[in-house]
């Protein structure tokens, strides 16, 4: 039996608890220790998940029984923490986004390559059963040639943001909901149709006292020539959907956002509908459509990403699905969208990548 990968959890906020609840159920993962600067948070996490705790990050990295680090510190701290972990020879899984700017993303990529450690960014959304099934139907040609995708991810977080909240600061949360929510859909879009070439974004703060955008709409063009629309906002109850429009069929995917954190239940509460021609005739008025409820695989998107992380560490034959370069391109799309909104013009993604 392959020896389990021993983890140190670094950053112990709400999401760290959600992740630990999933990866501690894997035989391939063992939680050794945890660290955050607040002793009370360390005590709570260590007690809940029956692991050790360390009083400094350096102490956690010095442990011989730690193979890898899972990082859920604030986004703008990712590069410093990842670089330190990689330089200590530890493998790294960092929660999305990889960073809030391209310079930090490149620092992370350089540190990972320099130290030859396994690295994965936690874009777990592409792992849900509905997205996997949509990818399968696109690649099989069952929906014909895809011309357009529309996607939305929204929640009410912007209605709660105060003036001192980091989400309200465009320097710490560029693009507002785009860097927190939309980046998931950006990863999904590039997973489904390949690299995004250009974006045009309109957004502004609404129903808030902060200067950052809380509502955005983005039109995206892929290198393939296909197009997409992405809505990301912090001004409504939770919504997640993706609709794919093909020449022979349309897919409508709806995920119940209330079950996002409980990843064992996410797919059980999602729906994928395929609308296709039941009968094709030369007369458009006589063509008939039918709707089919598509059976999706039942996945556990959070547990699956950690299972892959452990496999990639223990096997030379497996590469992480979302490596530093893929995650960097997701952030580049967000930053292109921010620039587009600021300058009221289309922005090429390569303008961001090459300008760093």
Task: Give me the half-sphere count of Cα atoms (radius 13 Å) on the Cβ side of residue 342.
Answer: 13
What SS3 state is found at 325? Answer: helix
Q: Which of 56, 10, 16 is nearest to 34 (CA)?
A: 10
Q: Which of 39, 38, 37, 31 is nearest to 4 (CA)?
A: 31
The class of domain 126-300+332-348 in CATH terms is alpha beta
Q: Delimit the domains of the chain by residue range.
A: 5-122+303-319, 126-300+332-348
The phi and psi torsions of 147 (rounded to 5 degrees) equal -105, -30
- Distance (Å, whole) CA 253 – CA 244: 8
Residues 64-120 have pLDDT tens digits of 999 999 999 999 999 999 999 999 999 999 999 999 999 999 999 999 999 999 999
Architecture per CATH, 5-122+303-319: 3-Layer(aba) Sandwich (3.40)
* pLDDT surpasses 70 at 45: yes
- Torsion over CA: 322, 327, 333, 337 (sign): positive
Residues 145-166 have pLDDT tens digits of 999 999 999 999 888 888 888 8
- Distance (Å, whole) CA 179 – CA 182: 6
pLDDT band at 284 (very low <50, low <70, confident <90, very high): confident
Q: Out of 37-41, 191-195, 313-317, pick the least confident.
A: 313-317
The contacts of residue 291 (CB under 8 Å, 6+ apart) are 273, 274, 275
CATH fold match for the domains 5-122+303-319 and 126-300+332-348 = no
């Amino acid at each position: 039996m392959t020896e389990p990968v021993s983890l140190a959890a670094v950053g112990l906020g709400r999401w760290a608890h959600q992740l630990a609840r999933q990866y501690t159920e894997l035989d391939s993962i063992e939680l050794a220790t945890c660290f955050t600067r607040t002793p009370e948070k360390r005590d709570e996490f260590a007690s809940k998940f029956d692991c050790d705790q360390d009083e400094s990050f350096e102490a956690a990295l010095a442990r011989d029984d730690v193979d890898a680090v899972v990082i859920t510190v604030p986004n703008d701290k990712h590069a410093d923490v990842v670089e330190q972990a990689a330089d200590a020879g530890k493998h790294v899984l960092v929660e999305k986004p990889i960073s809030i700017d391209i310079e930090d993303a490149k620092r992370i990529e350089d540190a990972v390559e320099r130290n030859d450690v396994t690295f994965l960014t936690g874009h777990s959304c592409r792992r849900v059963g509905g997205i996997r099934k949509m990818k399968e139907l696109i690649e099989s040609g069952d929906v014909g040639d895809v011309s357009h995708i529309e996607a939305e991810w929204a929640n009410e977080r912007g209605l709660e943001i105060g003036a001192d909240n980091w989400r309200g600061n465009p320097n710490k949360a560029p693009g507002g909901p785009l860097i927190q929510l939309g980046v998931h859909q950006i990863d999904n879009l590039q997973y489904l149709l390949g690299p995004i070439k250009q974006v045009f974004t309109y957004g502004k703060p609404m129903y808030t006292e902060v200067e950052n955008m809380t509502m955005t709409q983005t039109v995206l063009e892929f290198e393939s020539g296909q197009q997409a629309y992405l809505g990301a906002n912090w001004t409504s109850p939770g919504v997640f959907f993706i609709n794919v429009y093909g020449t022979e069929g349309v897919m409508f995917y709806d995920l119940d956002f209330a079950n996002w954190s409980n990843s064992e239940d996410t797919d059980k509460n999602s729906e994928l509908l395929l609308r296709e021609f039941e009968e094709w005739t030369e007369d458009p008025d006589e063509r008939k459509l039918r709707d089919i409820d598509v059976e999706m695989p039942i996945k556990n998107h959070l547990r699956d990403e950690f299972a892959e992380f452990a496999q990639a560490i223990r096997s030379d034959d497996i590469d992480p699905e979302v490596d530093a370069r893929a995650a960097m391109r997701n952030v580049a799309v967000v930053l292109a969208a921010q620039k587009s909104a600021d300058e009221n013009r289309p922005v090429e993604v390569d303008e961001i990548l090459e300008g760093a």
